[in-house]
Structure 1
Amino acid sequence: MSSLNIATRALNTNLAALQVIGHNIANVNTPGYSRQNVVLSSAGYQFTGGGYFGKGVEMTTVERAHNEYLTREARQTGSVAASDAARLARLEQLETVFPTGEKGLGVALNDMLNSWTDLTSAPGNSTARLVVIARADEFASRLRDSAGQLDLLRNSTQQQVKSITDDINRLAQDLAKVNQRIVETAGTAHTPNDLFDQRDQLLAELSGRVQITTVPGEAGAVNVFVGGSQPLVLGSQAAKLAAQTDPMDNSRISINFVQGGVSSPLADSALAGGQLAGVVRFLNDDLAAATNQLGRIALATASLMNEQHALGMDLNGNPGQNFFVPPAAAKGIASPANGGTGQMSAVVSDPQALIASDYEVRVEAGGFSIVRLSDGNTTSVGALPADVDGLTFQVDAAGAVAGDRFRIRPFESAARNLKVAIDAPEQLAVASPVMVTPATTNSGSLSVESLFAVENSANLTDPVTITFNADGSFSATGLGPGNPPPDNPGPPPSYNFKPGEPIVLNGWSMTLRGNPTAGDSFSIGASPSNAIAQSAGNANGMLALRDLATFDGVPLSDGYVSLFSDLGTRVQGAQFAADFSAGVATAAEQARANVAGVNLDEEAARLLQFQQAYQASAKFLQIAQSTFDSLLQTVGR
């Protein structure tokens, strides 16, 4: 009888092993599946008079090939790789908004500035005037188009953030259900391998969306935390994440942890990894920086050109009007938590000092703090208005109380709303309100290269005469207040002269070329009305803006370089990070798969091994049964 038991037990055990092998082969391409193995052990022994005889084999359990450390490592590195890949994909989309070459923003900017060149030699040419207006309109249109594409990219990115958040919540619910099923099997002596695989696969998918931390729970369940310490899944209970638009900045999204009806914001840095972290970083950092860089180009260019254009005169002898539609003041957005009713705004005071950043004005007991949000730099002032970074921050309506905060975005809509204000060629202020007359007795080689107004000074058109001395310096008579003091005390007091270097006095700038002789003089005064049509002084002033240090010391004509440089640096850094983290994640996943993955060659060998064992067991059962039958026949006689 014992032989029959041994044979039957061996037959069943080897059949079970074949079933496990078949299960492995069937799931070779199943994501997250871990190879399973039967654990065999001796069935024990029995004592007889002839000694101890074994009872055969029995199957202890079915275990899965699994290494917790390698699985966790693959999950964490995969989370970082997913974050880097998601950010890189969005940055590459952003890069397409700013093409180079003929369609680039830089070409449009320089074409507009260079178009004034023809007017310096032909100030009354209507065609040249129309070209200036057309080039400006093309530049404004290109800025508006770029801003529109940024808006579209922002909207699609916000939708992606919400979609990823929904996926996280769905996976958290699924994980909670699997946890419950695992706990329900806790009373058995065996491990539900396929449930554990399903659990680990859900964890892998979840970590691809957001970086997680896991802590073992009851009876094989797992607890999941996000944002450092927020419990997304506790046993069979799942919380949620919610993507919400920042009430003080609708271009930004904040991720909130929601549990029991209570919502707590998560810092962007706390997300750490996963697609959500990469996309949120792109939206709140990379895209915001590009928007501000583009807006700074629009705001600085419009402000500088409006200022210079207003210093000239049009063909009708009228002072120049705004060249571009003046950018509106940036209204401060009050925090929902404000206790007062105050309102604030900011306007451009110095276009050359602008920094591409948003700002927050905080009301304090003793004054105000103006925080540059791009780097956290804080300027404390006792009262408003106050000038910071080329902007004048001012109170529009009283009523703010200590603790109130206001978000001010001076560059957010500058590019989107830029338009040319000039619609007729005669409105271009090409002429200068001042002109220079060299003395007829001049004997040196000095010639006038340009003369134009640079400041709306009360003494702009006052008669001024500059006379050169034997040492090459010059003296000036008729100057108003506010001019720089002479370089040399004299007598007579004089200014040093360098050919090609502008002489800036009384609100005008004059550039002379050549070498003076003693007694050479030049008279500067108001332009007569009959000279306006032939004057190109302000055209030279507009042309001189090309070399004006505007963007962190970079000339206006190269203003787009800072945008391209910043974007290129971000893309390059993101590409390196994505390549590196992908390599690390691939290596970690390969190490995990080497332990847990199904190898068809290995399974084929094991299939043959247990097939032979099964056949041998069947043969042994046949022999045992034949022997038993013979015994019965003999005893029966």
Structure 2
Amino acid sequence: MSALNIGSRALTANLSALQVIGHNIANVNTEGYSRQNVTMQVSGYQQYANGFFGKGVEVGTVTRSHDAYLTREAQTTRSVASADAVRLARLEQLEAAFPMGEDGIGESLNSMLNAWADVASSPSNQTARLVVIARADELAARLRDTAGQLDILRESTQLQVKGTVDNVNRLAADLAKVNQRLTEVMGSPNTPNDLLDQRDQILSELSKHVQVSSIPGEGGVVSVFVGGSMPLVLGSQSAKLEAGRDPADSSRLQISFVQGGVKTPLADGNLGGELGGLMNFLHNDLAQVSNMVGRMALATVSVVNTQHELGLDLKGLPGGEFFTALTLPSGVQTSGVSGLTASVGVSDPSQLMASDYELRYDGTNYTAVRLSDGTVSAPAAAVPVSFDGLSFNLSGPATAGDVFRFKPFENAAREIKIAITSPDSVAAASPVKVSPEPGNSGGISIESLYANGPPGGASYGTTEVVFAADGSYSIEVGGTPVLTGQTYKPGEPIEYDGWSLTLRGVPADNDTFTVTPAGPNDIRQNAGNAVGFQALRDAAMFEGVPFGDGYVNIFSDVGTRVQSAQFSSAFSGQVAATAENARANVAGVNLDEEAARMLQFQQSYQAAAKFLQVAQSTFDSLLQTVGR
């Protein structure tokens, strides 16, 4: 009977090995599957008078090819790669909203400024004036359209964030169920390989959506933490994440950890995975670019309206609003108890920075904080506080600890629109004119004169620019010098009392130019303010960038972000692929290897069957012999 038992055990063991090999081959393309192996062991022995005889072979257990370190590394690198990949995809969509060439905002801005050249050439030409209005309206439409595209991108990204949060919650619940099943088989001497593969695959999927840290427990049960230390899965219990509105800023999403009805906000930097990449895009990339577009719209409205209001229209009336004035959003109190109304206005459009702000009061001083980089204004004992070309104010005295958040550029691009409709209302004329004295040498010519600010008094007065023999000049009012020894450079503006005069050529001693208020008969042929609009093109505006090149500043920022994201995504993707390949080299199924093992155990099975056949034949012969 011993030989028959050895043969039957060998058949059973080799058949089990072939079944495992078949299982491996069937799951060669199953994601997360780990190759399984049969461990054979001796069935024991039996002692006889003439020695110890073995009792054959049996299956010890079925193990899986698995390296915990490589698996964790693959999960971690996948989280980083997923964050970079989803951010890159969103940035490429953002880049599409900022075309160059004729379809770009920059082309519209410069077309509007260039249209003033035709007005300067023919101030009374109604068609030229209509073109200025049309070009300005086109610029406003382009800015509104861009803001609309950014809003659509923001909304779709927020929906993707909520979908990702739902996936995280679903996977957390699935992992808790797997932990429960692992607990139920914890007393078994063998390893539930397929269940452990399912656990690891869920962890891998979780790592794609959010960065997790896992702590293994007894019997293969694993606990998972997110956001640094929040227990998403503990044994068979799972918590949830929630995507809701930030209480301090309803336009922002906030990811919270929810357990037992208590919500704990999670910092964007602690999320990782697709969720972290999406939140980074929303709150950094998209927010910054939106602020840049809003800043451009707000600066455009401010400088164009200011220049237009300095001029005179065809009726001799002061220019009104060219664009409809923008109302900046009120500040929102995020800390403290005072309940004050917070407001912000533009004090210097050339100093605007693309950022959100906070106004803080510590009980003694007020400070404004640029949230994009943390820069803080000089302390002020009272409001308003001027910082970055903005003026922050409160309706009353604050209480220590009060904090107010401002988003001055949030609605600017959405709300910009033309205010002027009649060509007669285009203020192309300057309120001042210049006349050379009859006795001038004629070696110097007038290039332009326009108002660049309000006069120091109630109105513009009569002023004389008088040159000396050394080429310097003095400015006289009523024959009395108010500025002397000023250096003259051809083509460089001479500015005084709200006007800018540009001369060219070489002056002679006592050459004089008189600046006086423009009379009613000068309006139709006076194009000074139109020249002033042309000068805006080169005015330093966006962190020193000329006003006419402001769009290039936005486009280059978006391009830099895309280029950086492409590098990060390619690098982290390669690292993740390398880590996954290393894991797969240990745990993956190799068909050539499985074919060789299948042949090996097939031959062993056939040999065991032959041995069993021989044992059976011998036993039958023995029975026949004894039976006689």
| Aligned counterparts of 1:339 and 1:436: Cα–Cα separation in 2 | 58
Question: AA paired with 2:9?
Answer: R
TM-score (ref. length: structure 1): 0.96
| Aligned counterparts of 1:466 and 1:38: Cα–Cα separation in 2 | 102
Question: AA paired with 1:572?
Answer: Q
Offset at 1:400?
Answer: 4.3
* 191-200 vs 353-362, greater mean Cα deviation: 353-362
Q: Is the 8 A contact 1:330 1:347 kept in 2?
A: no
Offset at 1:368?
Answer: 2.1
Q: What residue in structure 2 maps to residue 533 of structure 1? A: 524
Offset at 1:363?
Answer: 3.0
| Aligned counterparts of 2:196 and 2:510: Cα–Cα separation in 1 | 99
| Aligned counterparts of 1:479 and 1:19: Cα–Cα separation in 2 | 111
- CA offsets per residue over residues 355-405 of structure 1, 9 Å max, x none? 00001122321132211110111223211112110001111x337432232
Q: What residue in structure 1 maps to residue 333 of structure 2? A: 334
1:576 equivalent in alignment to 2:567: yes
Q: What residue in structure 2 maps to residue 517 of structure 1? A: 508
| Aligned counterparts of 2:473 and 2:260: Cα–Cα separation in 1 | 81
SS of the equivalent of 1:494 reads strand
1:412 equivalent in alignment to 2:410: yes
| Aligned counterparts of 1:240 and 1:401: Cα–Cα separation in 2 | 37
Offset at 1:498?
Answer: 1.1
- CA offsets per residue over residues 87-138 of structure 1, 9 Å max, x none? 0000000000001111011111110111100111100000000000000000
- CA offsets per residue over residues 497-555 of structure 1, 9 Å max, x none? 11111000111110001111112111111111011011001001111100100011110
SS of the equivalent of 2:414 reads coil
Give the 3 Å change call, closer, same or farther, for CA 479–137 of structure 1 in structure 2: farther
Q: What residue in structure 2 maps to residue 595 of structure 1? A: 586
| Aligned counterparts of 2:474 and 2:525: Cα–Cα separation in 1 | 29
Correspondence 1:209-224 to 2 at 5 A: 209-224=209-224
Question: AA paired with 1:293?
Answer: M
1:387 equivalent in alignment to 2:386: yes
SS of the equivalent of 2:420 reads coil
1:141 equivalent in alignment to 2:141: yes
1:550 equivalent in alignment to 2:541: yes
Q: Is the 8 A contact 1:341 1:399 kept in 2?
A: no
Match 2:576 to one of 575, 579, 585: 585
Question: AA paired with 2:299?
Answer: A
Match 1:374 to one of 372, 387, 395: 372
Task: Supply the RMSD in Å over aligned alpha carbons.
Answer: 1.4
> Percent identity among equivalent residues?
59
1:473 equivalent in alignment to 2:472: yes
Offset at 1:299?
Answer: 0.6
Offset at 1:580?
Answer: 0.4
SS of the equivalent of 1:450 reads strand
Would you say how many aligned residue pairs link Structure 1 and Structure 2?
626
Match 1:428 to one of 417, 426, 429: 426
Q: What residue in structure 2 maps to residue 489 of structure 1? A: none
Q: Is the 8 A contact 2:328 2:411 kept in 1?
A: no
Match 2:342 to one of 341, 344, 355: 344
Offset at 1:50?
Answer: 2.3
Q: What residue in structure 1 maps to residue 281 of structure 2? A: 282
Question: AA paired with 2:51?
Answer: G
* 612-621 vs 164-173, greater mean Cα deviation: 612-621
| Aligned counterparts of 2:525 and 2:247: Cα–Cα separation in 1 | 55
SS of the equivalent of 1:595 reads helix
1:22 equivalent in alignment to 2:22: yes
Q: What residue in structure 2 maps to residue 8 of structure 1? A: 8
Q: Is the 8 A contact 1:311 1:433 kept in 2?
A: yes
Q: Is the 8 A contact 1:451 1:511 kept in 2?
A: yes
* Gap regions ≥5 residues in structure 2: none
Q: What residue in structure 2 maps to residue 402 of structure 1? A: 400
Q: What residue in structure 1 maps to residue 151 of structure 2? A: 151
SS of the equivalent of 2:523 reads helix
Question: AA paired with 1:550?
Answer: M
TM-score (ref. length: structure 2): 0.98
Q: Is the 8 A contact 1:479 1:506 kept in 2?
A: no
- CA offsets per residue over residues 176-214 of structure 1, 9 Å max, x none? 100110111011100000000000000000000011111
* 219-228 vs 193-202, greater mean Cα deviation: 219-228
Correspondence 1:157-556 to 2 at 5 A: 157-271=157-271, 273-335=272-334, 338-379=336-377, 380-395=379-394, 397-398=395-396, 400-459=398-457, 460-478=459-477, 486=483, 493-556=484-547
SS of the equivalent of 2:188 reads coil
Q: Is the 8 A contact 2:332 2:404 kept in 1?
A: yes
Q: Is the 8 A contact 1:115 1:135 kept in 2?
A: yes
SS of the equivalent of 2:415 reads coil
Correspondence 1:117-128 to 2 at 5 A: 117-128=117-128
Give the 3 Å change call, closer, same or farther, for CA 480–403 of structure 1 in structure 2: farther
| Aligned counterparts of 1:369 and 1:55: Cα–Cα separation in 2 | 87
Question: AA paired with 1:581?
Answer: S
| Aligned counterparts of 2:247 and 2:398: Cα–Cα separation in 1 | 18
Offset at 1:327?
Answer: 1.0
* 81-90 vs 362-371, greater mean Cα deviation: 362-371
SS of the equivalent of 1:416 reads helix
1:636 equivalent in alignment to 2:616: no
Q: Is the 8 A contact 1:24 1:36 kept in 2?
A: yes
| Aligned counterparts of 2:87 and 2:478: Cα–Cα separation in 1 | 59
Offset at 1:467?
Answer: 1.7
| Aligned counterparts of 2:6 and 2:621: Cα–Cα separation in 1 | 19
| Aligned counterparts of 1:594 and 1:476: Cα–Cα separation in 2 | 85
Offset at 1:609?
Answer: 0.9
SS of the equivalent of 2:485 reads coil
Q: Is the 8 A contact 2:366 2:385 kept in 1?
A: no
Q: Is the 8 A contact 2:336 2:400 kept in 1?
A: no
1:616 equivalent in alignment to 2:607: yes
| Aligned counterparts of 2:134 and 2:443: Cα–Cα separation in 1 | 39
Give the 3 Å change call, closer, same or farther, for CA 479–502 of structure 1 in structure 2: farther
| Aligned counterparts of 2:56 and 2:478: Cα–Cα separation in 1 | 117
